[in-house]
Amino acid sequence: MRIATWNINGVKARISGVLTWLSQTSPDVACLQEIKSQDEGFPAGPIEELGYNVAVHGQKGFNGVAILSKHPFDEINARLPGDDDDDHARYLEVVIPAGGTIVRVASIYLPNGNPMPGPKFDYKLAWMERLESHAKTLLMQEEPLILAGDYNVIPEDEDVYDPEAWRDDALFQPETRGALRTLHNLGLTDAYRACHTEPHKYTFWDYQAGAWQKDNGIRIDQLLLSPQAADRLAHCEIDRFTRGWEKPSDHVPVWVELNV
């Protein structure tokens, strides 16, 4: 079972690339972030024609997450628990039956947090605390769980082309990285790092200053696996090639293969 995550940076602008990537790579499940679309405006039709079920938690103009699945959904749950006043569309969780078992998958678009210090950074840290609390609850169910998405956190120095260039950014603060390590320490496995030890492999390149051409990237898109999912981990890769397409997202897909 192949499960992928991709921040597409606007579904209307990237729908052609999304359809091409789905056709070429055929993931069983694809978690999308930053769709920048309300539910009713999401172009589900052409995606469904490729054989996918579509779940969307959207928002006008920004944020928004979606999950595409070749398998039917047993459950669909939108919004991260813990703050009823938070109206950002950043979390979507589904349960999918596959291969005689069930897999729980979440599509996550974690807040950026810039500029910092300030309310946006405070919101980012509070959101990460809520994610930690919810992850604890999910892990108690002892089922294959994949928390996939754009975490907007650079985990380590080896995950950025130049650590000094990011020292003052919210994505690279000690508090931010510490909150991500807290998630890992719950028993969640960074799928890419479990399969690859080589440094300087990236999932995001800014549109500015020739970042793509210079390979000035960062690794901020992750799939975190529960122990039951990590036991089934066969492979994890980055689809770097999509960044070279016409009108690309500034992120590229990351995917895992699980034995189910």
Q: The domain that contains 64 carries what CATH number?
A: 3.60.10.10
Residue 67 backbone class (left: φ over 0; alpha: ψ -120 to 50; beta: rest): beta
Q: 74-124: per-residue pLDDT in tens?
A: 999 999 999 999 999 999 999 999 878 899 999 999 999 999 999 999 999
**Measuring CA to CA, which residue among 224, 212, 199 is closest to residue 251?**
212
Known catalytic residue: 150?
Answer: yes
Known catalytic residue: 91?
Answer: no
Please give the residue range of the domain that contains residue 13.
Answer: 2-258
**Measuring CA to CA, which residue among 122, 183, 174, 198 is closest to residue 151?**
183
Rounded average pLDDT over 231-256: 97
Q: Using CA atoms, how far apart are residues 52 and 40, in angstroms rounded to an integer?
A: 17
| pLDDT band at residue 148 under the 50/70/90 scheme | very high
Average per-residue pLDDT in the chain?
97
- What pLDDT, on a 0 to 100 scale, did the predictor assign at position 186? 98
Give the position of tokens 């997202």: 249
From 28, 150, 159, 169, the catalytic residue: 150
| pLDDT band at residue 185 under the 50/70/90 scheme | very high
CB-count exposure of residue 198 (10 Å: 0-12, 13-18, 19+): exposed
Question: Domains in the chain: how many in total?
Answer: 1
Strand pairing partners for 222? 149
- Share above pLDDT 70 across residues of the chain, in percent, rounded to a whole number: 100
| pLDDT band at residue 134 under the 50/70/90 scheme | very high
- What pLDDT, on a 0 to 100 scale, did the predictor assign at position 214? 97
Instruction: Specify whether the CB–CB gap between 255 and 4 falls below 8 A.
Output: yes
